[in-house]
Amino acid sequence: MTRKPAGNPPPLDDQLCYAIYSAGIAIQRVYKPLLDGLGLTYPQYLVLNVLWREDEQTVGGIAEKLALESSTLTPLLKRLEAAGLVRRTRNPENERQVIVALSDKGRSMQSEAGCLGEALLAASTQTPQDLAKLNRDTRNLRDAIYAQIGGWTSIS
């Protein structure tokens, strides 16, 4: 059986996936100088965000919220622990589980990291309402796609 050529793909700027991908990179570039000042990478910042919302979670629970594999998350957690931002302990009720909790230093970093949203707002030249709507629309798209393909549940 002979396959028919698919034709030319649309230009990148006409592809939603590229717009979302490149916007994510732009946002991370806005955050980078601020995160560098905190001594954090963007993935470490995401982990701390999960813990700032709800402290003392399992590695698996954090991985699920960030749509990551536990094996990807473990090196991040080790670096956060070495920096004194989190503690990892075995769950006494289930030795296979590791509980991650914020240290005092990690908890206090939350107020320092608050400036990231302000930096994004300034760099975007959008109103807070515009960014909130874009965020809702993007989350709705993400959740609709995952509802069809499975594999992840929103943290909201």
* H or E segment to which residue 98 belongs: strand 94-102
CATH number assigned to the domain with residue range 13-113, chosen from the 4 options 1.10.10.10, 1.10.8.60, 1.10.3720.10, 3.40.50.300: 1.10.10.10
Residue 92 to residue 42: CA distance in whole angstroms:
31
Per-residue pLDDT of the chain (156 residues; tens, 9 = 90+): 566 667 788 999 999 999 999 999 999 999 999 999 999 999 999 999 999 999 999 999 999 999 888 888 999 999 999 999 999 999 888 888 999 999 999 999 998 887 888 999 999 999 999 999 999 999 999 999 989 988 766 555
Residue 120 to residue 135: CA distance in whole angstroms:
13
